């Protein structure tokens, strides 16, 4: 029973890829020139072992709602050599962070595959300030006419609920990564 529930949960939480594969320079140029456009580009190749290992985690981060305002792009270096030359891509995988067509950062290679998703999230938050803490609606535990001390307790209870929610999310993410689903 628990195993079936777990597999259903993994299936429900599975990600559809939101990564755009680009092979033409013209399409890429049009994409990055849009105003207020935040783009992360992964330069990779089918024959690159590290590139194939980061593909799934890259797609999973792309599917996270926190990064909805960021466009995730994958460029195969064998199909788009002009773009690679323009951005001086000399190693793969390379991750390029662009905002409004301007390069903010370039990250070459993967140091630790286990920590790749956390590393990617951190760089996205740093470069694009897209991290918005999840907020839950305030929970009213006491009537509004109680003393200020009781109102402080309301806030404390709400903070506890938020902490429990964050812990549950972290546990579910860890379980999902552990079972690789």
pLDDT tens digits for 101-151? Answer: 889 999 888 878 788 889 899 989 988 875 455 554 544 444 455 555 555
Q: Which domain holds residue 140?
A: 133-181
Mark whether 101 and 171 lie in a shared domain: no
Mark whether 95 and 139 lie in a shared domain: no
For helices 148-178 and 2-13, the axis angle rounded to 10 degrees is 100
Mark whether 92 and 48 lie in a shared domain: yes
Mark whether 116 and 32 lie in a shared domain: yes
- Residue that terminates a domain, selected from 86, 110, 128: 128
Contacts 24+ apart (CB under 8 A), 84-87: 84/43, 86/25, 87/41, 87/43
Mark whether 159 and 86 lie in a shared domain: no
Least confident interval from 39-48, 80-89, 155-164: 155-164
**Residues 52, 110: Cα–Cα separation, whole Å:** 12
This prediction has a pTM of: 0.62
Q: Is residue 5 domain-resident?
A: no
pLDDT score for 13: 44
pLDDT score for 97: 93
Question: Average pLDDT of the chain?
Answer: 77
Mark whether 100 and 19 lie in a shared domain: yes
Asked if 31 contacts 65 with a C-beta cutoff of 8 angstroms, the reply is: no
List, in order, residues 6 or more apart from 130 with CB less than 8 Å away. 38, 66, 67, 69, 70, 124
- Residue that terminates a domain, selected from 128, 152, 172: 128
């Amino acid at each position: 029973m628990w195993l079936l529930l777990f597999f259903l949960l993994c299936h429900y939480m599975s990600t559809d890829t939101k990564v755009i594969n680009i092979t033409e320079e013209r399409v890429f140029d049009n994409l990055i020139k849009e105003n207020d456009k935040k783009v992360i580009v992964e330069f990779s190749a089918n024959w690159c072992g590290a590139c194939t290992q980061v593909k799934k985690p890259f797609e999973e981060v792309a599917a996270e709602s926190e990064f909805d305002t960021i466009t995730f792009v994958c460029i195969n270096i064998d199909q788009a050599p002009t773009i690679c030359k323009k951005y001086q891509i000399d190693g793969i995988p390379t991750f390029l962070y662009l905002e409004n067509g301007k390069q903010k950062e370039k990250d070459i290679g993967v140091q630790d595959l286990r920590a790749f998703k956390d590393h990617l999230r951190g760089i996205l938050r740093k470069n694009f300030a897209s991290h918005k803490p999840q907020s839950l609606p305030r929970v009213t535990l006491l009537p509004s006419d109680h003393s200020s001390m009781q109102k402080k307790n309301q806030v404390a209870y709400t903070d506890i609920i938020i902490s429990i929610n964050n812990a549950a999310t972290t546990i579910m993410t860890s379980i999902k990564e552990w079972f690789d689903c």
